[in-house]
Structure 1
């Protein structure tokens, strides 16, 4: 059941779900920041002086290599990763590597005890321009469709807080709670209704908005006050019914709620700022492997 939620103004900056990679690597799926923290320690474990340029250069090079590997492993959608997308385009791959190699880094202060450097880039702006495929039909208005309706294969859920297109004007964004489905974050996820029709995805937003904001953000909490920066003061709260595909990048919600989500996200501000957050399990939570629709069970068709 949906809820119209309101909360106070004071919130912390939105970082969203922070995914860890190896030693010191993280992706913040709210801000889109990809970061790696690397120690200046030498192979024998000794800490060099924090002003040692060779140690700093080596640590920065290692951190950027790790960051590139992280970016390449990111899923674009249910079908491909960044690595798969750029693998056949040498020029594009070179440009992506160039962005990473020139990413800003923070060196330790002269009087700082920790011998660490930090490199960071964002899955927004110039990097997003490169890794978001130009073949994606942004803002086409034509929703993708699943080949089979889910209304027969899972219990149909009805119930709508207000008539879609009328009550939709009262909502400033959407929160979709997908905890328990082991969702894999992606740059261009799709939200489907049980009727198999897309409710939200790249087909509703412009490429410019996706590059600047990300098609969707991810978080570990459904608390509206923590998500206000992304979804506004009065978000629509929706519970996912299932994850779709072996990579669990896409979600299924009830058909009535899908119609309302579509109406909310077609409004100017929500669409322009991609005001949708997907709530996923916290890193330490294993989740429950239920409700996952395998790709082999239901082929994906796009219009």
Structure 2
């Protein structure tokens, strides 16, 4: 009877956890942006949604009171608001980081072709449905521009012939150990929470020796332009089941970032050993060239309160009434811990057969 009761309690707990995940609202990576033009002091405000891959602004316009015809007032008012929105959008897009060292405005200065393409995309930005507001001579509308697609095609670097090779000079510890994933991974999730990583269009993954593991130059450019080099999420549970990784049937390779790098802090740093594991797993499943990579950013989740668990009493009969209420002290979010434990089990190295180990040593 007692075992049945405890089993029921644990079953209810895990059902609650599953419902909690399903009921979670998406928590996109949104960064408000304010750009101040130094000579004039004009301020451009906008919003970068790195999860949806969009940049949006709101333009404002006014019409003089001497314009009395209602149709003319409306046309002039929204025209003024759209011109204001174009100006703001160009300022905000110019500040978008392409990589850890370059912004879109830098690329526009360096290339007239890129400047012309970006300016053309800005003037072709779509009006956000329902954003047009008219009130007492005050007009407002919103514009939105996709960071992926044409903008990425204009500013992302071209792809190279091939990515980095597996290093020949493996350390001795790796010479007798071979990393073989139990099953091919469907994508890579980099947990960069707790760092000050800034999103960009073309971030890199590098290891602590400086070796580049993942960059826009190593991927299929078609995927990079269409879906972005990486996706950004705030919630780990949402990241591991995102459509980019494979949805509910995803099998993500979960890796912890140990640091960040680059002038604008947009590159994630992993250990050298983990960098090699990422390359080997990517060669088997091809998820790197198809940009099936997600960065999880934001603050590190605080440890949850202790979880109450039932433990056997040291004396007396083993009945539910005599059970003692113990405390488990998990580190980090409980659901995160489940994912991290699974990832740890997946990344444990398998010892190579003697003949294979001998070949590696040679």
Query: Please, what TM-score do these two structures have when normalized by structure 2?
Result: 0.60
Aligned residue among 10, 25, 32 for 1:20: 32
Spell out structure 1 runs of 4+ moving beyond 6 A.
7-15, 41-44, 109-114
Aligned partners of 1:91 and 1:111: how far apart in 2?
35
| Aligned residues: CA RMSD | 3.7
> How far does residue 130 in structure 1 lie from its aligned partner after superposition?
0.8
| Residue 261 of structure 1: how far off its partner (Å) | 2.0
Q: Choose between structure 1 and 2: higher helix proportion.
A: 2
- Cα 1:112–1:173 change in 2 (3 A) is farther
Per-residue deviation at 1:91?
A: 3.2
| Residues 1:77 and 2:91 are matched in the alignment | no
Is the Cα–Cα contact under 8 Å of residues 74 and 81 in structure 1 kept in the other structure? yes
Where structure 1 has 5 or more consecutive residues not aligned to the other structure, the ranges are: 1-6, 146-150, 152-157, 283-303
Aligned with 2:298: secondary structure? coil
Change (3 A) 1:205 1:69: same
- Structure 2 equivalent of residue 210 of structure 1: 224
- Aligned position for 1:189: 203
Q: How does 1:280-291 map to 2 (within 5 A)?
A: 280-281=297-298
> How many residue pairs are counted as aligned between the two chains?
255
Larger radius of gyration: 2
Change (3 A) 1:277 1:39: same
| Residue 266 (structure 2) aligned to one of 249, 260, 270 | 249
Q: Shift of residue 41 of structure 1?
A: 6.2
Which residue is equivalent to 1:154? none
8 A contact 1:180–1:281 mirrored in 2: yes
Of stretches 105-114 and 181-190 in structure 1, the one that deviates more from structure 2 is: 105-114
Instruction: Give ranges in structure 2 of 5+ residues lacking alignment.
Output: 1-17, 35-43, 300-362
Structure 1 position 182, deviation (Å)? 1.1
Q: Does 1:126 align with 2:150?
A: yes
Q: Which structure 2 residues correspond to residues 45-124 of structure 1 after superposition, within 5 A?
A: 52-106=74-128, 108=130, 116-124=140-148
Tell me the alpha carbon deviations over residues 159-202 of structure 1, each in whole angstroms, 9 at most, x when there is no partner.
9xx953x3174321121111222112121111112333222222
Q: Residues 67-88 of structure 1, C-alpha deviation per residue, up to 9 Å, x if partnerless?
A: 1111111121222111112213
